[in-house]
Amino acid sequence: MSIRALTDDTAALGGSTQYIRGDLDPEDFSYTLPLTRPELLALFLRNSKIKKAVAWFAGEMIRERWEFDTDEAIAGTKHGAPYTFEQFNDWLEWNGAIQELLKACMWALLFGEAIMVFYTDQDQTSEKWKNTDNLWLKGGQGKFVKCKAFYEEINQNGYMIEQTDDFFGVPQTYRITLMTYKAKRAVKYYVDANTRVVRFCAPQMELKYAGNSTVSTISKDCIVQELAKRSTAVQLLNVCGGILACRVSGEAEKAQLEAEIATTLTHLKKVYASGNMTFEEMFKIIVPDLKIDQLAGMNELMQQDIATGIDMSISNLEGAPQGALSSAEYDTFNTYSKVKQLQAHFKRAFEETFFKLGKKDTTFQFYDPTPQIGMNAQNGPSSTDSAGKDGDNASNDSKPGAREGTS
């Protein structure tokens, strides 16, 4: 099968082999050919820039949490015993809902959509799906004790739409599949879309049921950058390991020579040539002409990747000053404008999640995640203590939208 014929099923191999489209044949790569979901997941797991665009934004959305207009205690269990949580956020922290909200937002930004499934403590006794051994989870409002986020099925893990409404075309039933390590078979069960599921969709760029991946515009550029690094690294490793050049008269002598040295000099890259080409001419072809400016450019590329991977500017990574404060503030303003846009976009899904987990009044406001820093006219940036001396500012610090973040 041609590599270009990759589908969601066959491309699953790419997640484990780390195959990059175009690495073996340049014609396998195309800016107009969309990535399959397994390829997109593999890219997310290995590429720091994709991770920055997805995981970092999702994390910043919920980093400072939120404040409800009205809060109430909720009864639950803690360490197997009845326990009353005085604040609803305490309940969300304990039952793992906040971590699942993070994953739901992250996977929605990556794939365009994710779902949150809710469970009661009585689900093991649920009825079966259509005379099978698989559970059918439905109903249960007011009894949910936990939730779990899923993306659309990849490598026998995730959700699939099992049934849709004939009139509106929306899902009625989802099939959940989980294949754990060393398990002999996958676990499958079905959930009712109306009572057990909340959808998390990324902003929609075209008229379709789900949202659009937020990395669709940068994913191919990230792959091109990976290919450039990978090809250069291969050549550098060949030079470091050494190259064995042999002159042969033809294919027969090449095969004989390969058989004789097969178990020796295995670390060397072997190159065979015939004809009138000199060794000097041969090495000009097989050994890259790496100049200082090429290495400097490669190093800068690596620095950018490293800085992105650890959420740090290149200047800070190299120990240099950040630059003018006004420039840093402007960059922060632009970045956190998008964070706030995403908070507003996902707010309804958050409220639906809170309602299913027992919150009566779900109205809330996100705390402002934008890093804040106090300013001193004489000494520049001041500590948070000096910034909080102003009574008016101090009174606003506790309000959603004005909470001080960490810079």
Q: How far apart are CA 98 and CA 62, in angstroms?
A: 8
Residue-wise pLDDT tens digits, 266-320: 556 666 666 677 766 666 666 666 666 776 777 777 777 767 765 666 765 566 5
Helix (H, G, I), strand (E, B) or coil at 49: helix
> Which helix (H) or strand (E) covers residue 205, if one does?
none
Give the mean pLDDT of 172-200: 93
How many CB atoms sit inside 10 A of residue 200's CB?
Answer: 27
Confidence tier at 376 by pLDDT (50, 70, 90): very low
pLDDT cut 70: percent of the chain above it:
71
Confidence tier at 10 by pLDDT (50, 70, 90): very low
Query: Which of the two residues, 380 and 304, has the higher pLDDT score?
Result: 304
Query: Which of the two residues, 203 and 229, has the higher pLDDT score?
Result: 203
How high is the mean pLDDT of the chain? 79
Q: Which of 9-23, 27-41, 161-175 has the lowest mean pLDDT?
A: 9-23
Domain residue spans in the chain? 219-317, 335-396
Give the mean pLDDT of 150-176: 93
**Structure confidence at residue 149 (pLDDT):** 98
Amino acid symbol at 314? I
Confidence tier at 17 by pLDDT (50, 70, 90): very low
Query: Which of the two residues, 339 and 5, has the higher pLDDT score?
Result: 339
Residue-wise pLDDT tens digits, 356-372: 999 999 999 999 998 87
Angle between helix 97-111 and helix 37-46 axes, rounded to 10 deg: 120
Q: Please determine, for residue 219, whether its predicted confidence score (pLDDT) is greater than 80.
A: yes
Q: How far apart are CA 142 and CA 124, in angstroms?
A: 17
**Structure confidence at residue 271 (pLDDT):** 67
User: Dihedral through CA 7, CA 9, CA 13, CA 14, nearest 10?
Assistant: 40
Q: How does DSSP classify residue 362?
A: -
**Structure confidence at residue 366 (pLDDT):** 97
**Structure confidence at residue 388 (pLDDT):** 40
Q: Please determine, for residue 8, whether its predicted confidence score (pLDDT) is greater than 60.
A: no
Give the mean pLDDT of 134-148: 94
The listed range with the strongest mean pLDDT (189-193, 207-211, 286-290) is 189-193
**Structure confidence at residue 247 (pLDDT):** 75
Q: How far apart are CA 380 and CA 377, in angstroms?
A: 6
Instruction: Specify the pTM.
Output: 0.76
Give the mean pLDDT of 250-275: 70
**Structure confidence at residue 379 (pLDDT):** 46
Give the mean pLDDT of 328-335: 71
**Structure confidence at residue 29 (pLDDT):** 85
**Structure confidence at residue 398 (pLDDT):** 44
**Structure confidence at residue 330 (pLDDT):** 63
**Structure confidence at residue 316 (pLDDT):** 54
Residue of 234, 297, 314, 343 lying closest to 48 (CA atoms): 314
Give the mean pLDDT of 120-141: 92
Confidence tier at 393 by pLDDT (50, 70, 90): very low
Computed from CA positions of residues 234, 235, 236, 241, in that sequence, does the dihedral angle turn out positive or negative?
A: positive
Structure tokens at 37: 């979901």
Measured at the alpha carbon of residue 156, what is the angle toward residues 150 and 159, in degrees to the nearest 5? 30
Q: Please determine, for residue 6, whether its predicted confidence score (pLDDT) is greater than 50.
A: no
